[in-house]
Amino acid sequence: MDIKKLTIELTKEKEKLEYYTQVNLESFVTNKEIVSETKITLFKTADILNSILHQIALKRVGRLPKSSSECVNFLIKNNYLSRKLGGSFKKLFRFLFFNYDVSAVEDEKEIYDVAKKTAEDLNKFIKEKL
């Protein structure tokens, strides 16, 4: 899939994250359906973002990175991503890939925090880079 189509999909997932995290933390934690949907959306978002970053890295560096982390590092070194934004994306990838079965993650506060931060960072990324 090309970057334009992926960007549209990424924007849709970002909007879902914004919708799910517009409530306060207490309301989020008590609503299991929203927590579940947020987990699914985070995973989809990371997958789409990973595809976009790999395509950009391939164009800029000339080879396909071995991992999401290596991809982000390439883009930081090539001044495509800021260290702050790159670090945030690496944190998202670590969170999701370390907890490969995201449905098993029980810390609703952590899910809320990651979703909220991801939505904010994706806003910047989409406006500035895509």
pLDDT at residue 97 is higher than 80: no
Instruction: Name the residue range of residue 40's domain.
Output: 3-129
pLDDT at residue 104 is higher than 90: no
State the CATH number of the domain containing residue 77. Answer: 1.20.120
Average pLDDT over residues 42-62: 93
State the pLDDT at residue 76.
Answer: 95
Question: How many separate domains does the chain show?
Answer: 1
pTM of the model: 0.90
State the pLDDT at residue 100.
Answer: 53
Model confidence pLDDT, tens digit, residues 18-30: 999 999 999 999 9
State the pLDDT at residue 102.
Answer: 56
pLDDT at residue 130 is higher than 90: no
Indicate the SS3 state at residue 21.
Answer: coil
Position with higher pLDDT, 50 vs 106: 50
Average pLDDT over residues 84-105: 78
Give yes or no for a contact between 42 and 111, defined as CB atoms under 8 angstroms apart. yes
